Chains A and B, each alone.
Chain A
Amino acid sequence: VGEMETAPKSGRDVPPKKDKLQTKRRKPRRYWEEETVPTRDGASAGPPCNKKNRELRPQRRKNAHILKKSRISKKPQVPKKPREWKNPESQRSLSGVNPGPGSSPLPRSKAKTRSRLEVAEAEEEETSIKAARSELLLAEEPGFLEGEDGEDTAKICQADIVEAVDIASAAKHFDLNLRQFGPYRLNYSRTGRHLAFGGRRGHVAALDWVTKKLMCEINVMEAVRDIRFLHSEALLAVAQNRWLHIYDNQGIELHCIRRCDRVTRLEFLPFHFLLATASETGFLTYLDVSVGKIVAALNARAGRLDVMSQNPYNAVIHLGHSNGTVSLWSPAMKEPLAKILCHRGGVRAVAVDSTGTYMATSGLDHQLKIFDLRGTYQPLSTRTLPHGAGHLAFSQRGLLVAGMGDVVNIWAGQGKASPPSLEQPYLTHRLSGPVHGLQFCPFEDVLGVGHSGGITSMLVPGAGEPNFDGLESNPYRSRKQRQEWEVKALLEKVPAELICLDPRALAKVDVISLEQGKKERIERLGYDPEAKAPFQPKPKQKGRSSTASLVKRKRKVMDEEHRDKVRQSLQQQQQRHKEVKAKSTGARPSALDRFVR
């Protein structure tokens, strides 16, 4: 049947009926699941897929690039796809050809599938080019800071920058002297318009930092470990000494979440509406803030968790542990997706850049490392710092900031997609107390630093993304716009199960289950319905189709096929040889190589 069909509901004797229905219902579903390809979360378990070349050409759209690549690699499977690939709307005609004058060919569906795929690919290419061209329309240019004739920009202090820039930008530099309740953690809202900060001794405040309008200020009379805005500036999660509390922008306590106790760090995944909390008890808990349910509570089995950050590209949570490893977590898995040994000694801070390509870690061994997250998980650059960094953060344009004692160092890369080079700091700044929290303000050239002496808002030219997208996060949005955005965002809340290392895994063809389904079908039917029938020569005109000639023709075709097969297998063999050679020359031979098969 073309539909999932259910029996009509009956009012009475529900329990037995239900059982019967369920068994009845389950059967066709299993039948379908065998045939179709569940691509949803199978990929999360797999090894990290390589996302190479993602940032090589910043002019192009990144995803378009990947798509093209993956398509090419998938080309051979195209004819194997199930027929249902075709959509009924764009069907031209039954036979796939224009019924014009003369004899038209009989239906050939595979060629049609291929041509449709080609059309789709071409369309995609075109749209990606168009999207790249639309960059011309962007209104703002990113900021920058250059010293005179290659002079070290790190020597330029904040006062100089404030002096040099316009008044609107100069107003973004300020210090809040709050020595009484320090050290402070801080968080900017997603639009970059609002700032919330919480002091260790219970001081919690939120303000519109651009206009300096205070939204609320309270004392929770309890130690505040971390503070985080939820999806909009109207909600505020505060990790207090015992429990997790949620306040609104008036400072009214909305919820006290007792299932998240002794929380040390908070992260909010805005597209999944998940609040990830790391606790002293060693649990990583995901709280769905749209429905108020705990989605997953994962035991990291690594003692107290107090180093956490999220990968904004794929919503994977990175936890730093005291044994020097960083583990990557998704709520769909009980085990970490990956574990990376980063430092000798504990990990003190972790940060991931906005493209999800680089991870910066710092450890008790006073080292700062930048790791490549595109499959290799190898350190790209390392630097030993005199005191070691306790706090790290990436800006939208790839600047890396490290807080070391009361000094803040900022490193910059060559461009947006390149890793920050750790040789020369881009800017440095000394604060009036040891750093306790760091965050770059989104869409502004501002770095917020929470320290024991209060809050400092620093100017860091070139940190923020100059052109925001009005439909994603608009710093200038009105109340109505915010409400509309909120509804839209809630409607397209991504399910937590879809979090995996490659966020595009959902779009990929699950070849394994496709093959499996095919195999099962052959088993069920007893023969391969898609197998090519053996060649049968057609009898020709009178006198020409003697048995001998028929056999000869048949033999000819069979020989040709056989030769093709041999040629293909030879080619494959050669290819394999080449690969092996390339590999063996690349690495130094080891004594253990003899055990490699």
Chain B
Amino acid sequence: MQWPPPWRRSPLLSASPPPGPAKEFLRPGRVSEAARLYSHYVTPAEGAREGRWQTRPSLRPASPTNAPQQPPLANVCQQNYGAPQDPVEPAGLRSASHVTGSSLGKAEVSCGSRRRWAELVPESSWSPAVGASKMKVKMLSRNPDNYVRETKLDLQRVPRNYDPTLHPFEVPREYVRALNATKLERVFAKPFLASLDGHRDGVNCLAKHPKNLATVLSGACDGEVRIWNLTQRNCIRTVQAHEGFVRGICTRFCGTSFFTVGDDKTVKQWKMDGPGYGEEEEPLHTILGKTVYTGIDHHWKEAVFATCGQQVDIWDEQRTNPICSMTWGFDSISSVKFNPVETFLLGSCASDRNIVLYDMRQATPLKKVILDMRTNTICWNPMEAFIFTAANEDYNLYTFDMRALDTPVMVHMDHVSAVLDVDYSPTGKEFVSASFDKSIRIFPVDKSRSREVYHTKRMQHVICVKWTSDSKYIMCGSDEMNIRLWKANASEKLGVLTSREKAAKDYNQKLKEKFQHYPHIKRIARHRHLPKSIYSQIQEQRIMKEARRRKEVNRIKHSKPGSVPIVSEKKKHIVAVVK
């Protein structure tokens, strides 16, 4: 038999056969089995580059071309139409392309297996056309080995092409993804973690351990102090500290001891570790005061603490008399807080509706701001020294810049009853507030509306709240004797995340951010189920507020322009600033 057959014979190819080593392979009969099997999948470019045949190991079964010949699909369809046919061999189909309808002789088949002539010609091959002209042609021909994994143990190969035409509808698809991510966030929002029970009266105050994330201290209305382990979720120590309420509790910055004040007019210092075997539970120091102390806070760096009651007293730990006492006005002071950054600064709030700021180094208070209603407690921003937030009786919280007290930086309103406690996240970007309306809310510092509300059926008036030092959890103590532990981020997955989980989380977070203002997404992200009491209260207060606003607008409308001043919501609640 003559090779190549007459209709394939080209003057150019016969004139310049492929380079040396390939020559041997080209002789019929000496082609290796593998090469014959996988000849389909070798691109001409590769063949040319290697200069010889590569036998590539592959697990893919390829159809040998000398398999029993089957009639092409076309013929079968004509013969007995309708019955599903067996797969047809590529060789048969290809031959049909040239000699359509011709009988497929043996020569044709073997020709198919030896068509590697063309493959050995380089990519920009010069091959003769019928009109004896020369052309350059290159076809897309992918080697499946580059796209399919070799063994089952490998990862699947995923080639990427970031050409935007291959990724149409970028914005709508991202929007849908963001929508799905927002929905999933709501599905997985299960913030409640645990309830710590054991107190026999309402929990009145909470304190974090400064060095240990798992330890939490709580004081109850029956004078009992309990120390809890959060990881085991149990009480590790119980102290009967006072007669009557435990009004305040704070830990020393080193974490070795803690202080309590109570209704029995005493300040007591306790060791953090329990008494040894046989020892009696008793305080390290006890200070007997003349009046009731309502709050206590420890300095963040020095052995100094401050109490409040009739006046603000600053104590040295070693002495039984206060270093200095400061008053401004004649009312009882409900809470005092040291600034964690500028550690000499203190803030206190009294029941004559004012918030007073002190500098420990001076004998007199710095300045005070008088609000519409009483402030229950304040909390300093741990990251920004001059910012603090006040929890007010008028259902609002006010974030102040202490340099400009005449206008609060932000008025946070969402609660429907008096706000009793507030605590900042260690990041200083958010804070949590506890309210008499049996719920706690999380506010971003720069937003006037809360991003989250937590409530349960059994939780009563929440008296105290704390954000843990790892910024992941929130604790709240309430009237019905329980301390509850919540996730700060309601839909967060706890525990170790794999890298893919983390990547997916980050991607979803970014998407949610990007599309957060779209009405549909916003509606889903904002939706919270609320207890009926709060829900109806909100409706009621909305109506009241609307009526007030309407009246105000009417008054402006019907009076001489400029005669009725427009007071912004921020300024409305500030009565005066005194220096």
Chain A residues packing against B (C-beta within 8 Å)? 1-8, 24, 29, 32-33, 36-40, 61-63, 82, 84-89, 91, 93-95, 99, 103, 106-107, 109, 131, 134-135, 138-148, 151, 153, 155-157, 159-181, 203, 207, 211-214, 216-219, 251, 271, 312-315, 354-355, 396, 443-445, 454, 459, 461, 464-472, 474-476, 478, 480-481, 491-495, 498, 503-504, 506-507, 524-527, 529
CB pair A527 B96 closer than 8 Å? no
A5-B530, A168-B40 known; A315+B140 contact, CB < 8 A: no
CB pair A156 B74 closer than 8 Å? no
B residues within 8 A CB of A471?
158, 160
Candidates A4, A39, A86, A495; contact of B518 at CB < 8 Å: A39
CB pair A211 B167 closer than 8 Å? no
**C-beta contact mask, B338-352 vs A, less than 8 Å → 1, else 0?**
000000000000000
The yes or no answer to B188 lying at the interface (CB within 8 A) is no
Cβ-Cβ contact count across A and B, 8 Å cutoff: 366
A residues within 8 A CB of B89?
212
CB pair B159 A139 closer than 8 Å? yes
The yes or no answer to B200 lying at the interface (CB within 8 A) is no
CA distance A61 to B176 in the complex (A): 22
* 7 nearest CB pairs, A to B: A2-B449, A470-B158, A177-B74, A164-B127, A169-B139, A160-B129, A3-B528
The yes or no answer to B15 lying at the interface (CB within 8 A) is no
A residues within 8 A CB of B254?
none
A212-B88, A214-B84 known; A493+B176 contact, CB < 8 A: yes
The yes or no answer to B523 lying at the interface (CB within 8 A) is yes
A212-B93, A445-B140, A464-B140 known; A6+B527 contact, CB < 8 A: yes
What residue in chain B is nearest A107 (Cβ atoms)? Answer: B409
A residues within 8 A CB of B180?
491-492
CA distance A93 to B428 in the complex (A): 8
CB pair B530 A476 closer than 8 Å? no
CB pair B100 A218 closer than 8 Å? no
Candidates B87, B175, B384; contact of A95 at CB < 8 Å: B384
Q: Chain A contact residues: over half helix, strand or loop, or mixed?
A: loop
**Shortest distance from the beta carbon of B53 to any chain A beta carbon, whole Å:** 13
A-B contact pairs, 19 of them (CB 8 A): A5-B527, A7-B530, A62-B164, A86-B446, A91-B445, A94-B428, A99-B384, A160-B127, A163-B8, A163-B118, A165-B138, A166-B44, A176-B77, A177-B78, A211-B63, A214-B84, A355-B165, A465-B166, A503-B170
CB pair B84 A61 closer than 8 Å? no
B residues within 8 A CB of A37?
517, 519
Candidates A1, A32, A139, A219; contact of B538 at CB < 8 Å: A1
CB pair A214 B450 closer than 8 Å? no
B residues within 8 A CB of A159?
98, 130
CA distance A168 to B44 in the complex (A): 9
CB pair A211 B135 closer than 8 Å? no
A32-B519, A89-B509, A203-B81 known; A214+B73 contact, CB < 8 A: yes
B residues within 8 A CB of A163?
8, 118, 127-129
The yes or no answer to B240 lying at the interface (CB within 8 A) is no
**Shortest distance from the beta carbon of B411 to any chain A beta carbon, whole Å:** 13
CA distance A216 to B85 in the complex (A): 8
CB pair B517 A36 closer than 8 Å? yes
Chain B residues packing against A (C-beta within 8 Å)? 8, 39-44, 47, 63, 72-75, 77-78, 81-90, 93-94, 96-98, 100-101, 112, 115-116, 118-119, 121, 125, 127-131, 133-142, 144, 146-148, 156-173, 175-177, 180, 381, 383-387, 399, 401, 403-404, 409, 414, 428-430, 444-447, 449-451, 453, 509, 513, 516-520, 522-523, 526-532, 534-536, 538-539, 542, 549, 553, 556-557, 566, 568
CB pair B119 A454 closer than 8 Å? no
What residue in chain B is nearest A506 (Cβ atoms)? Answer: B171
B residues within 8 A CB of A443?
140
CA distance A168 to B72 in the complex (A): 18
CA distance A179 to B100 in the complex (A): 13
What residue in chain B is nearest A164 (Cβ atoms)? Answer: B127
**Shortest distance from the beta carbon of B76 to any chain A beta carbon, whole Å:** 9
B residues within 8 A CB of A161?
137, 139
A residues within 8 A CB of B446?
86, 88, 91, 94, 109
CA distance A480 to B152 in the complex (A): 12
What residue in chain A is nearest B119 (Cβ atoms)? Answer: A166
CA distance A444 to B129 in the complex (A): 23
CB pair A148 B134 closer than 8 Å? yes
CB pair A167 B78 closer than 8 Å? no
Candidates A91, A164, A461; contact of B444 at CB < 8 Å: A91
B residues within 8 A CB of A461?
137-140
**Shortest distance from the beta carbon of A281 to any chain B beta carbon, whole Å:** 30
CB pair A156 B135 closer than 8 Å? yes
B residues within 8 A CB of A175?
74, 96-97, 100
CB pair A179 B135 closer than 8 Å? no
Candidates B401, B451, B529; contact of A6 at CB < 8 Å: B529
B residues within 8 A CB of A151?
133, 135
A residues within 8 A CB of B130?
157, 159-160
CB pair A470 B160 closer than 8 Å? yes
CA distance A173 to B450 in the complex (A): 66
What residue in chain B is nearest A91 (Cβ atoms)? Answer: B429
**Shortest distance from the beta carbon of A291 to any chain B beta carbon, whole Å:** 15
New A-B contacts (10) at CB < 8 Å, excluding given A94-B399, A177-B96 = A4-B528, A7-B530, A94-B445, A167-B118, A170-B118, A174-B97, A212-B87, A468-B161, A492-B180, A503-B172
B residues within 8 A CB of A145?
135-138
CA distance A124 to B509 in the complex (A): 17
A residues within 8 A CB of B532?
7-8
CB pair B90 A171 closer than 8 Å? yes
CB pair B535 A5 closer than 8 Å? yes
B residues within 8 A CB of A134?
160, 162
**Shortest distance from the beta carbon of A133 to any chain B beta carbon, whole Å:** 10
**Shortest distance from the beta carbon of B405 to any chain A beta carbon, whole Å:** 12
What residue in chain B is nearest A24 (Cβ atoms)? Answer: B539
CA distance A147 to B404 in the complex (A): 81
CA distance A177 to B404 in the complex (A): 89
CB pair B513 A89 closer than 8 Å? yes
CA distance A174 to B451 in the complex (A): 64
What residue in chain A is nearest B75 (Cβ atoms)? Answer: A177
CB pair A466 B140 closer than 8 Å? yes
CA distance A580 to B456 in the complex (A): 67
A residues within 8 A CB of B119?
166-167
A84-B517, A165-B118 known; A178+B77 contact, CB < 8 A: yes
CB pair B556 A88 closer than 8 Å? no
A1-B538, A170-B94, A527-B566 known; A492+B176 contact, CB < 8 A: yes
CB pair A173 B430 closer than 8 Å? no
**Shortest distance from the beta carbon of A239 to any chain B beta carbon, whole Å:** 21
What residue in chain B is nearest A313 (Cβ atoms)? Answer: B168
**Shortest distance from the beta carbon of A196 to any chain B beta carbon, whole Å:** 14
A residues within 8 A CB of B403?
103, 106
CB pair A88 B429 closer than 8 Å? yes
CA distance A37 to B521 in the complex (A): 12
CA distance A494 to B170 in the complex (A): 10
CB pair B161 A138 closer than 8 Å? yes
CB pair B535 A148 closer than 8 Å? no
CB pair B173 A459 closer than 8 Å? no
CA distance A138 to B146 in the complex (A): 12
A251-B84, A313-B168, A461-B137 known; A167+B115 contact, CB < 8 A: yes
CA distance A527 to B556 in the complex (A): 9
A residues within 8 A CB of B509?
89
A residues within 8 A CB of B166?
465, 468-469, 472
CA distance A373 to B94 in the complex (A): 40
What residue in chain A is nearest B162 (Cβ atoms)? Answer: A131
CA distance A36 to B403 in the complex (A): 34
A residues within 8 A CB of B526?
2-4
CA distance A167 to B31 in the complex (A): 16
A residues within 8 A CB of B163?
135, 465, 467, 469
**Shortest distance from the beta carbon of A427 to any chain B beta carbon, whole Å:** 11
CB pair B528 A445 closer than 8 Å? no
CB pair A174 B96 closer than 8 Å? yes
